[in-house]
Amino acid sequence: MEKALPSQLNEFVNVNNYQQISKDMLEMAQKLGASQAEVGLHASIGLNVTVRLGEVETLEFNRDKAVGITVYAGQRKGSASTTDITAESLKSTVEAAYRLAKLTEPDPFAGLALSSEMAKDIKNLDLYHPWDLHVDEAIKLAKTCEHHALAVDKKINNSDGATLSSSQSFHLYSNSHGFTGAYPTSRHSLSCVVIAQDLQGMERDYQFTVARKSSLLEKAENVGIEAANRALKRLNAKKLSTQRVPVLFHSSVAQGLIGHFLAAISGGRLFRKSTFLLDSLHKKIFQDNIHIYERPHIQVGIGSAPFDNDGVATKDKDLVKNGIIESYILSAYSARKLNMPNTGNAGGTHNVFIQPTHGSFDDLVKTMSRGLVVMELMGQGINLVTGDYSRGAAGFWVENGEIQYPVHEITIAGNLQNMFKQLVGVGSDIDKRGGIQTGSLLIEEMTLAGV
């Protein structure tokens, strides 16, 4: 069978042509009268295979290209994009962006980041590792993953499928400061979702692995076995009475809690005054031993990037040190709105870590002694304006420092500001599968609403 993907992205993307396109579009914008302009080009190729109960359920290929331009006419801004990169279409796109700019209201904070902030040395972060993958090989890996899951126990009697995905992308950003930066990336993943059933009912769980390099993925059989074991452990779940107890967020869900913190200190929420952490810079939010930091230049990192969406150089920084907020997360625009230095975070953060304060997950369970381990969260009951937090949860009940039985149909509630103050433990069981990497997080006390 033919290969699903070209062995190299340059079989799909002509880098020199993309650079010329960005240059031509910027020149067109300037001839129309734009004071500044910026162009972003993106191309991706990918394969996605889902197998369910041993049969191929979906087989998808994608080959996508898109270009967008933002034009500034003084302090007026207009943007347009297209997936058609013919000369006529590109010209029309630039003209459309300029017309929109002339129609919008002036914004005193609009414009490119400063030319002095542009990335000067674009580091090679080793983010591109194409997988020379055949369709039949992809199907075989997905089938292997699901087969091993279904073989773990007779109680694993159904599946929502195993999915293998592989993609390669090319990113280029250019602006009228004369900056052009471009780099390719790859991303590969394998996941499995299965259902366990006994006389008491059914439970569903999953496992996944993701990496820039296919050789760094977990083995297909291990992903399937872990998905099955997670589902089996949830059988015979009990309900709990309403009470206030310590709550341990397992590392597989803990990154969401750190994500809420990052959202609360992001520029957009700060200048709109829609965050409970307004005016929190240099204030103590966590306990003394909490250290949260960003490292954008990790080789082969899932969240690594040499520059942000404004072309600004990314850099290492402490977000929280000794429990104190040391930096907000700002783009050029939000930095100007807040009259603060640009932090190089247009588009978000790049590889955020929280330093462990304790040992393993088991150590944290012993430290907690009695309470709830959260393995799954449901719903979106988070209000970042007030910090109020309320979500459905499932997991395990702990007594005397040991897991006793699975629990479900409960709600955990609190306020994020109080939860951050009561973050008393960070485990060394770091989940490395995303742009936020953290171990399990132990909160001293939350409200558990049950029966």
Q: Which residues contact 402 (CB under 8 A, 6 or more apart)?
A: 365, 366
Mean pLDDT to the nearest integer, 352-359: 96
231 has a pLDDT exceeding 50: yes
211 has a pLDDT exceeding 90: yes
pLDDT on residue 199: 86
Contact 141, 109 (CB under 8 A): no
pLDDT band at residue 315, thresholds of 50, 70 and 90? very high
Contact 63, 48 (CB under 8 A): no
Write out pLDDT tens, residues 135-194.
Answer: 999 999 999 999 999 999 999 999 999 999 999 999 999 999 999 999 999 999 999 999
pLDDT on residue 4: 46
pLDDT band at residue 9, thresholds of 50, 70 and 90? low
Q: Which whole-number Å values give the CA distances from 229 to 206, 264, 299, 375, in the listed order?
A: 9, 35, 32, 13
In the chain, how long is the greatest CA-to-CA distance? 73
pLDDT band at residue 14, thresholds of 50, 70 and 90? confident
Alpha-carbon Rg for the chain in angstroms: 24
**Full-model pTM:** 0.94
Q: Residue 388 is encoded by which pair of tokens? A: 């109020």
Question: Fold for domain 9-232?
Answer: PmbA/TldD fold (3.30.2290)
3 has a pLDDT exceeding 50: no
Write out pLDDT tens, residues 367-410.
Answer: 999 999 999 999 889 999 999 999 999 999 999 999 999 999 99
Contact 414, 328 (CB under 8 A): no
Q: Where are the domains of the chain?
A: 9-232, 237-256+356-449
Alpha-carbon span 186 to 431, nearest angstrom: 20
Write out pLDDT tens, residues 242-262.
Answer: 999 999 999 999 999 999 999
What percent of the chain shows pLDDT beyond 70? 98
Q: Residue 266 is encoded by which pair of tokens? A: 């992001």
Scan for tokens 């969406």, then name that residue.
Answer: 309
pLDDT band at residue 5, thresholds of 50, 70 and 90? very low
Pairing of strands 352-354, 436-437: parallel
Alpha-carbon span 185 to 44, nearest angstrom: 9
Q: What is the mean pLDDT of the chain?
A: 95
Q: What is the CA angle 365-368-371, rounded to 5?
A: 95
pLDDT on residue 1: 34
Mean pLDDT to the nearest integer, 77-104: 96
Describe the crossing of helices 220-233 and 135-150 by its angle, rounded to 10 degrees. Answer: 30
Least confident range of 9-23, 284-298, 344-358: 9-23
Show the beta-strand stretches assigned E in 23-154: 36-52, 55-73, 76-82
